């Protein structure tokens, strides 16, 4: 069995460097408009479909996340300036986040200097303390912050990843998240993650189904490739999670992701302490550097997994990456091979980049914010800002209400 920690050390890069100062060679810059649009990233999606439940105790009722979470709630924020520079920011929260941006955050932005991205982040975050701090508010903030950083890079005519220290690696090994390992094998991936559909509510039968599915996956990819699982918080019981980790030990899992509720930080601490056969990872659904401060204080994860479109944008993500580096922990952002996530993947201690668009039934909008992929690796783009190919026309062509 290979050492997971040595694997991380071998692939890891250096910690983030300070932000490079942007010379104001083009004069003052001012925001003139802010627009947020809910968008569809997949060509086929159940987004917006009303749920059907089989009675009051159907396990699906515990897993129904509605229209305001995950990638189904993606938004794009469009920030325009008086010099014709437009920033496109990837965020989430659907129509709820759009209302927050149009009704609240926009009034802090119009007339402001977008190059003061960190100042504006602090003002927006602080202004939402009484009702925000986590969840949809921070998803909305993420989209705005990412749009501001896109403007900063375009103003400086420099990729964002160079502004925050420059790349520590020219290419990053990718891993694919897909229920069918054959998709990743055909695309040349060496690292695979499967979503787990059964959890504590499905009892022993669910345990057996999970075991059978993962045995088949391990057989399909062979013993040398990396296998990981995402529990989607479905295990949500410490004893159940410990038993499952023991049952799955022969499969040599690299990590088990989000077995418990994100709020159960002490539960994650216990899993990290008691499970030695694999790594326990969390943080995809944690918010801002303040949330991560508590997660890391309690040693509730062995890899950091923030999502740049949910955690507070690049401003928060940089701080999270530094906190992890100070503790010797790597960072593998959720959907890190998006061009937004790659800004951190390229500059921090990130051994892997999760697939985004690769192997998906992706729209041209999703592909416009995806990193180049070849031979199992993701590569940087040397374009200003985040380097996306997003246009206003494309955003509005893929606009879709997330409200039910």
- pLDDT band of residue 63 (cuts 50, 70, 90) is confident
**How long is the chain?**
404
pLDDT at 13: 42
Cα separation of 38 and 100, whole Å? 13
Q: Give the strand pairing for 373-374 and 353-354.
A: unpaired
Between CA 91 and CA 96, with CA 95 as vertex, the angle to 5 degrees is 85
* pLDDT greater than 90 at residue 392: yes
At residue 24, the pLDDT reads 77
Which tens digits make up the pLDDT trace of 314-337?
999 999 999 999 999 999 999 999
Residue 5 has pLDDT above 70, yes or no: no
- What pLDDT score was predicted for residue 171? 94
- In this predicted structure, what is the pLDDT of residue 51? 86
- Map residue 297 onto helix, strand or coil: helix
Tokens of 332: 């593998």
Give the tokens for residue 52. Answer: 């059907």
Confidence of residue 259 (pLDDT cuts 50, 70, 90): very high
Render 369-386 in DSSP notation, one character per residue: TB--EETTEEE---SSBT
pLDDT at 16: 57
Helices (H) and strands (E) in the chain, counts: 16, 11
Instruction: List residues with catalytic annotation.
Output: 334
Return the bridge partners of 227, or none. 192
Mean pLDDT of 132-159: 97
CA–CA separation, 184 and 57 (whole Å): 35
Domains and CATH numbers, the chain: 4-17+162-390 (3.20.20.120), 31-157 (3.30.390.10)
Which range among 31-45, 119-133, 144-158 shows the weakest confidence by mean pLDDT? 31-45
Nearest residue to 99 via CA among 65, 140, 47: 140
Distance CA 41, CA 388 (A): 14
Produce one character per residue of 336-368: b if its CB has 16 or more CB atoms within 10 Å, e if not.
bbbbbbbbbbbbbbbbbbbbbbbbbebbebbeb
Query: Is residue 192 within 8 Å of 221, Cβ to Cβ?
Result: yes
Kindly give the residue spans of alpha helices, DSSP state H, lying in 104-166. Answer: 106-109, 117-127, 136-156, 160-163
Lowest mean pLDDT among 65-74, 131-140, 269-278: 65-74
200-227 average pLDDT score: 97
**DSSP code of 294?**
H
Residue 93 pLDDT greater than 90, yes or no = yes
- More confidently predicted of 14 and 60: 60
Q: What is the pLDDT of residue 47?
A: 57
pLDDT value at residue 89: 98
**Is the predicted pLDDT of residue 312 greater than 80, yes or no?**
yes
Whether the model clears a pTM of 0.75, i.e. scores above it, the answer is yes
Provide DSSP, 255-272.
Answer: EEE--S-TT-HHHHHHHH
Residue 18: is its pLDDT beyond 90? no
The bridge status of strand 171-177 relative to strand 377-379 is antiparallel
- Are the C-beta atoms of 76 and 146 separated by less than 8 Å? no
């Amino acid at each position: 069995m290979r050492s997971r920690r040595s694997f991380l050390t071998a692939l890891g890069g250096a910690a983030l460097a300070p932000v490079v100062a942007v010379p104001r060679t083009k004069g003052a810059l001012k925001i003139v408009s802010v627009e947020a649009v809910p968008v569809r990233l997949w060509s086929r999606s159940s987004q917006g479909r009303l749920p059907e439940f089989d009675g009051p105790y159907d396990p699906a009722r515990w897993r129904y996340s509605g229209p305001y979470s995950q990638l189904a709630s993606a938004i794009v924020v469009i920030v325009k300036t008086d010099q014709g520079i437009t920033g496109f920011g990837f965020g989430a929260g659907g129509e709820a986040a759009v209302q927050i941006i149009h009704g609240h955050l926009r009034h802090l932005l119009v007339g402001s200097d977008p190059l003061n991205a960190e100042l504006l982040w602090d003002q927006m975050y602080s202004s939402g303390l009484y009702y925000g701090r986590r969840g949809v508010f921070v998803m909305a903030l993420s989209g705005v912050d990412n749009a501001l950083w896109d403007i900063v890079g375009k103003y400086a005519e420099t990729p964002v990843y160079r502004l925050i220290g420059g790349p520590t690696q020219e290419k990053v090994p990718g891993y694919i998240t897909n229920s069918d390992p054959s998709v990743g094998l055909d695309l040349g991936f060496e690292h695979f993650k499967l979503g787990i559909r059964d959890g504590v509510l499905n009892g022993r039968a669910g345990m057996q189904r999970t075991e059978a599915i993962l045995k088949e996956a391990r057989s399909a990819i062979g013993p040398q490739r990396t296998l990981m699982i995402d529990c989607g918080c479905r295990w949500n019981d410490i004893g159940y999670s410990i038993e499952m980790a023991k049952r799955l030990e022969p499969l040599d899992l690299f990590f088990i992701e989000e077995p418990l509720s994100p709020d159960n930080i002490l539960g994650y601490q216990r899993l990290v302490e008691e499970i030695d056969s694999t790594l326990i990872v969390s943080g995809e659904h944690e918010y801002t550097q303040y949330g991560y401060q508590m997660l890391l204080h309690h040693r509730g994860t062995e890899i950091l997994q923030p999502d740049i479109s949910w955690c507070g944008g690049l401003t928060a993500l940089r701080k999270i990456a530094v906190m992890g580096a100070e503790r010797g922990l790597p960072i593998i952002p959720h959907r890190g091979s998006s061009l937004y996530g790659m800004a951190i993947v390229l500059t921090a201690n990130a051994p892997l980049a999760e697939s985004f668009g690769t192997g998906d039934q992706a729209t041209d909008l999703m592909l416009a914010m995806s990193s180049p992929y070849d031979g199992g690796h993701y590569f940087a783009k040397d374009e200003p800002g985040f380097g996306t190919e997003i246009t206003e026309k494309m955003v509005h062509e893929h606009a879709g209400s997330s409200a039910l």
